[in-house]
A and B are shown apart, each in its own frame.
Chain A
Amino acid sequence: MTDSTPILSLKSVRKMFGPYAAVDDIDIDISEGEFFTIVGPSGSGKTTLLRMLAGMDQPTSGDIMLRGERINDIPANKRPTCMVFQSLALFPHRTVGQNIEFPLKIRGEDPERRKARALQLMALLRLPEHYYAKNVMKCSGGERQRVALARALAYDPQILFFDEPLSAIDYKLRKTLEKELKDIHRETKKTFIYITHSLEEAMVMSDRIGVMRAGKLVQVGTPHQIYTSPTTRFVSEFVGDVNVIPVSLGARGSLRMAENGRELKPPKLPAGFGNGYLVVRPEYIRFLDKAGDADNAVEGKLYNEYALGSRIQYQVRVGDAVFVVEKLRQQPFSGKLDDKVIIGWDAKDAILVTD
C-alpha cells in the first residue's frame, strides 16, 4: 500500500433496484498499484459494485472518482479501466493473437505494432509464441485465463477489474493461477480490483480485502487483519472452520458461555461489552495434559479426525457443543477416537466479535 492520493475513490455509492439497495452507501479509497479484493457471498452486491466501477452500470447516488475526477457519467468504452469477465468473454471466432490485439485494433494501431505488443504480452503471461495463431476455443482453461488477462492488459488500463474469473476452474489449477495473478500484479504494478466469494482466494492475492454483506462493506483490512481481527461473526466465519462460542459478560470481567454458564477468561474486553461471540481459530486450541496448562480449558470426547494434508483436524464434543481443533501433522499426539481429552486456549488467542 502506498500513501499517495487514491487512484479510485467511492463516495457514498448506492445502487437501488426498486426499493432494494443492492449496493448501500459504500465509501472506499483505493491506492495506486494496490491489489484490492471485494469478498462477499452471492447476492451481497459485489458484482453490481464492480459493474458500476467499470462503467457498465450507473450508481443511483454517490460519486466514483478516478484520480480526483468524477467518472459516473463516462461509459465503459471511454474509461481507462478494463474488466476480466467471469466467463472471460473471449471472442470465439478469433485466434489468441486476434483476441489480445482487439483493443489495439479498435484504437487503430497498425498491424505490426499490434502483433509485437501481443507477443510481448504472451511472453509475460508465459503463453508459447506459436499460440498466436491458435483458435482461442482450442486453448485449455488456464490458457484462456491468460489470454483474457493479456487482452485486458493490451488495453493498457489504469485499473484492472476481475469478476470472479477463477470460479469455474478446478482447485489445483486455481491455486496456481492465484499465485500467477499476484506475480503479474507485481510485474505490471497496475491497480487490480478483484471480486470473489472466496475469502481464501482473496487472502492469497490481496494487499487489502473488503468484506461485503447485503450491499454494505462490513470490514476493510489487510488479509492479516481480516484473519486475526475480524470485527463480526460474519467475517470470522468466512474463512475456514472456526469455533464460535456465544458469550455474555459474567462476574468480575469474565465471560459466561451462553450454553452452560461456564466462566471463561476473556481477551481484552471492549468498553461496554454486553454479549457477543468468542471466536477461537482451530489452530489456537491445543490438547492439554491438565486443565491448568492454558487460560481456558474444557473437557470433552475426541469424536472424529480429518486429515487435511499438512494439518490434522479433530472434532471434540463438549456436552452438546462441538469444538474444532487443528494441529500440525508433525506435532506428537496419541489421542484415539472416543478418548476423553482436555482442550484449551489462551485468553489472548481468542477474539470477541458482535453478530
Chain B
Amino acid sequence: MLNRASRMRHSLIIAWSVAVVIFLYIPTVCIVLASLTASRYFQFPISKWGLDWWTKTLTSIEVRQLLTTSITIALLVTVVAVFLAFFGALAFARHDWKGRSVYQKIILLPIFFPQSVLGLALLLWFNTLGLPLSWKTAVFAHLVWIVPVVTLVISIQVYSFDPALEEAAYDLGASRWQVLKEVTLPVLFPGLFSGSLFAFLLSWGNFPLSLYTTGADTTVPEYLYAKMVAGYTPGVPVLGTISTAGAVVLLIGGYALITLLRRTRSTEQGGQDA
C-alpha cells in the first residue's frame, strides 16, 4: 500500500518536472527550428527545411560587425565589473565599518531599477556631458547595472571566507600584498570566476540599456529586435540561436573548468589515502 503510494508520488514528481522543463525550453527550441527553414517568411509548421539562412548569416559582414561589438562590450564590462566588484564585495562582506548596512542597500538598488528608465537617465547624462554615444558609452551603462549584480555574486563567496586566513598569513610573515596574492585571491577565485561569467552574460544579452546608449553602434540583441520590428528574415532566428548557443557553451565550459579545478585541488597527487 505504502509502496504503491510512494511510487505514485514519485511518478507525479517526474511528470511535473518534465512539464516544467518543456515549458521552459520549448520557446528556445522553436527559435532553432525557425532558423532551419528554407523559405523567406516565418511560418509554422515548417514546409521546407534548409540551412541556407545559416550560410547567409555566417558569411555576412554585418553580422560579424554585430558580434564584434557585442563581444567587445561584454569583455570590457567583465574586466571592469569584476575589478570593481571584488573590492566592493570586500567592503560589502569582509570588513565591518560604519555605514556598511547603508552601503549594502545603496549598492544593490540599481539592480531593481527598471532598465529602460536607467537607460534613459544615462542617455540624458551622456548628452548633458557632451559624450558622443557609441559602444563605449554602452560599456558604462552596462556597468551601472552589472557591477551591483557581480558585487552580490562575489559577496556570497566572501561571506564564507574566514578572515583568520588573512590574519594567519600576515602573522606568518606575509606582507599585505602577499596576503592578497597568496590567500585572498586564490580562496575567492570561484566567486570571481562566477562573477565574471555573470558580467559577460548579462552584458551579452542586455537589450534595454544598449538601446538607449550605443548610438550608431548596434549589439546583437538590438539588431534582433530591430529586424523583428521591420525586415524579418530567418537570419533573425539564426543569429538568435548563435547568441543563445554562445551563452550556453560559455556556461557549460565555465562549469566544467570549475569542476576540474575543484577536482585537481582536492586530489592533488594525494590519492594515496583513498
Please give the residue numbers on chain A whose beta carbons come within 8 Å of chain B beta carbons, in ascending order. 54-56, 75-78, 82-83, 85-87, 89, 91-93, 95, 102-103, 106-107, 130-131, 133-135, 137-138, 151-152, 155
* Bound-state Cα–Cα, A137 to B183, Å: 15
Asked whether A138 lies within 8 Å of B168 as measured between CB atoms, the reply is no
* Bound-state Cα–Cα, A170 to B104, Å: 38
Asked whether A54 lies within 8 Å of B171 as measured between CB atoms, the reply is yes
Interface residue? B246 (CB, 8 A): no
Please give the residue numbers on chain B whose beta carbons come within 8 Å of chain A beta carbons, in ascending order. 162, 164-165, 167-175, 178, 182-183, 186-187, 189, 265-270, 272-273
Contacts of A106 in B (CB 8 A): 169, 172-174, 178, 182
Given the contacts A83-B168, A85-B164, A77 and B268 also touching, CB distance less than 8 Å: no
Contacts of A55 in B (CB 8 A): 171
Give min CB distance, B212 to chain A, whole Å. 42
* Bound-state Cα–Cα, A129 to B266, Å: 18
| Number of A-B contacts defined by CB within 8 Å | 82
Contacts of B168 in A (CB 8 A): 83, 85, 89
Give min CB distance, A190 to chain B, whole Å. 16
Asked whether B173 lies within 8 Å of A103 as measured between CB atoms, the reply is yes
Give min CB distance, A86 to chain B, whole Å. 8
Point out which of A93, A131, A151 has the most chain B C-beta atoms below 10 A from its C-beta. A93
* Bound-state Cα–Cα, A117 to B20, Å: 58
Closest to A92 in B: B187
Contacts of B164 in A (CB 8 A): 85-87, 89
Among A56, A135, A151, which residue has its beta carbon within 8 angstroms of that of B172? A151
* Bound-state Cα–Cα, A78 to B176, Å: 12
What are 20 A-B interface contacts by the 8 Å CB criterion?
Answer: A76-B170, A77-B170, A77-B172, A77-B175, A82-B172, A83-B168, A83-B171, A85-B164, A89-B167, A91-B169, A91-B183, A92-B187, A102-B174, A103-B173, A106-B174, A106-B178, A130-B270, A130-B273, A134-B272, A155-B173
Among B162, B171, B189, B270, which residue has its beta carbon within 8 angstroms of that of A56? B171
Closest to A107 in B: B173
Closest to A85 in B: B164
Asked whether A138 lies within 8 Å of B272 as measured between CB atoms, the reply is no
Asked whether B167 lies within 8 Å of A76 as measured between CB atoms, the reply is yes
Asked whether A138 lies within 8 Å of B270 as measured between CB atoms, the reply is yes
